[in-house]
Structure formats: C-alpha cells, structure tokens
Amino acid sequence: MAEEIEEKTRYQNYTGADIERWRREGLLSKQDIEALGFSPRIKTFIQAMEEYRESWDVSLKEEASRESRLKVIASILGEQAPLKALRYSDGLKLRNELKGRGYKTATIQKCIQDLKRCLNLQLANRSIEYNPFATLSGGRVPEHEKPNQKALTDTEVSEIIGKADGSELLGGWLKIFLLMFFGCGLRRSEAMDARWENVNWEERSLLLTRTKTHTPRKVGLGKLLYYELIMRRKDEGLIFPAFHPDTVSKAIKKHLDKCGIKMRQHDMRHTYATLIQQKAGAKPIEAMARTGHRDMRMLSLYSHGKFDRIFEDELEFMKVPEGQASKA
C-alpha cells in the first residue's frame, strides 16, 4: 500500500522544469511524461533556433553574423536544452561565459538580443509561457570599447555633397540621402521611412514619425535640401524609393571612398549634431530636439525649443549655389 501511494504521488511536489530535466537526463519514459500530462515532444533550443532562422529577412552579412552568434549561444546553453527549462540564470551564465571568452560588450549585447528574439518567437507561438531573458541586459559598453566619434568640418561636407551632383548611385538619390544624413542628422531607417505627407513646405520642416526612440520629432530642411525635394515633390508615400538598407550603405561608402573620406555612416549624424551647435549656434536643447538624443531628457521635460529658425540654413553645404534656379 505504501509503495502504491508513493508511486501515485511521487511527482506532486515537483515543477514542470523538474520533469523536463529528468526527461533530458533519461530518467522518465515517454509513458511517464504522457501520464503527467506533458507533451512527449518538448521543444528544444536547437528547434527554436531553426524557427528563428526562418523568420529572418536580413542581408547575407547579417545572416552570417547571426549564425555565428547562435552557434556560440548553443554551445553554452546546450542545443538540446528544453525551452521550458531555461531560466534567467542561464542568461547570466551566457553573459559571463562570453565575457570570459573575451567578447566585446557590443557583441555580447547582440548575442543576448538574438536570444531574446528567438524566445520571443516561441512566446508568440505559445511554445513557452514567458521569455526568461526579457529583462536580460548585455551591460553598458565601456569607454575603451566605444568607437572614436568623427565629425567632419563644414568644408569637408560641402565637398562630399558637391561631388554627389550628377551621381548615378541610388538612381540619382545619393545627394538627397547625404543631405538628410549630414544636414538633418537622420538615421538610415528614419530617412528611408520619411514620407512626403509629413513635409511642411511652408515651415520647411519634416516630421519623423518612425524613430529609434519611438518618439516623433521634427527636423529643419535647409535650403538646398528643400530645393532638391521640391523638384521631386509628391503628395504622399515614401520620399525615397524602396532601396534595401544595405544598398544605401554600400552606395554611401562607395561615394565616401571616392572622396577619400574614411568614416562610419553614424558619424554623419555626429557631424550634424556638432555643426548644428558649433556652426549654426543651436542651443543644446534645440539640437537635442532635432537629433532625438535622449541625453538631457529631464531638461527636455521643462525646456521647449521653439521651431522658429532653420538652423540648417547656416550650414555651408545647405546653401544653394548662386545662379542655380531655386523655388525655396
């Protein structure tokens, strides 16, 4: 009788994670699992990885990078690890192991981002009830790992913009891309999501509704950019054709190489943030409103920069050459 009672109650004080661990270690048979009401086919991390791969819509370069990161993650967490048995502590183990292997913080952040996305997909598919890594962080990038910011001078940008005249790169849209990057501080995704209906032609401004911080912001249109846009003016839709993001970046790099300039695309935004203050005289709060930076966030709650001046007009490369017809 005692043995029968023990047999019937032996699992009652254990969690689902315990059951899955026992299954992985071969301590439970298929019949045991079915009797306990568990699926005999418990999804593992390697299966989740395969489904995550199928959801990708990225460049070949990014695809290769993700593949490499997933292999490292699987080597630490275990390919056959049941998803329901994964815990936040496993994420901490992953982070510490990557640090121990000498990975840079930025790479660790990307690994954790891949892990989160992988598990979020399973959460959406209801394979798991929660993502144990939802709040896991890769940590702050230390100063010695941060890339050196580079800001060009007004003259250097003028030369780059000038050499883009008549360029066939990006179907003739290269110059406008450069003006938006250097002259508005836009991120690549923000430029590619910019829409004609959000251009205020009277105010000479562009409202960005899809930003990295998910907070809409307004940027000024310097005269040259305004002139270039008005020549292609439409009532609605995306301003730029539907280029692949990598196509835009490659074209920008090709043009910069031709100009003899070595810089990251993000440095164009840094250049704008620098020139808008040092050259055009914008106050920090006004520059922050244009760039969308979240530094000085508390200040922005109590100080509000008015949109009553096109600072971008003060930038040399935004001025319309003399003798050139302009409707600005």
Report pLDDT digits (tens) over 10-67.
555 555 566 666 766 777 776 676 665 555 456 889 999 999 999 998 878 889 999 9
Q: Which two tokens stand for residue 199?
A: 């251009």
DSSP string, 101-128: TT--HHHHHHHHHHHHHHHHHHHHTTSS
pLDDT above 90 coverage of the chain, percent: 55
- Alpha helix (H) residue ranges in 41-104: 45-54, 60-77, 88-100
- pLDDT band for position 305 (cuts 50, 70, 90): low
- pLDDT band for position 287 (cuts 50, 70, 90): confident
What does pTM read for this prediction? 0.61
166 Rama sector, left if φ>0, alpha if ψ -120 to 50, beta otherwise:
left
Q: Which two tokens stand for residue 71?
A: 């292999």
- pLDDT band for position 300 (cuts 50, 70, 90): very low
| 3 or 132, which is more confident | 132
Residue 14, pLDDT score: 56
Tens digit of each residue's pLDDT (9 = 90 or more) over 129-153: 899 999 999 988 888 887 777 889 9
- pLDDT band for position 207 (cuts 50, 70, 90): very high
- From residue 83, how far is each of 19, 132, 242 by CA, in Å? 13, 10, 38
Q: Hunting for tokens 């302009």 — which residue is that?
A: 326
Tens digit of each residue's pLDDT (9 = 90 or more) over 243-256: 988 899 999 999 99
Q: What residue ranges define each of the domains in the chain, with the CATH number in brackets?
A: 45-144 (1.10.150.130), 154-318 (1.10.443.10)
CA–CA gap between residue 306 and residue 304 (Å, rounded): 6
* Residues 119/132, Cβ–Cβ less than 8 Å: yes
Q: Mapping DSSP to helix (H, G, I), strand (E, B) and coil, where does residue 44 land?
A: strand
The stretch 69-98 carries a mean pLDDT of 94
CA–CA gap between residue 85 and residue 70 (Å, rounded): 18
* Residues 188/232, Cβ–Cβ less than 8 Å: no
- pLDDT band for position 301 (cuts 50, 70, 90): very low
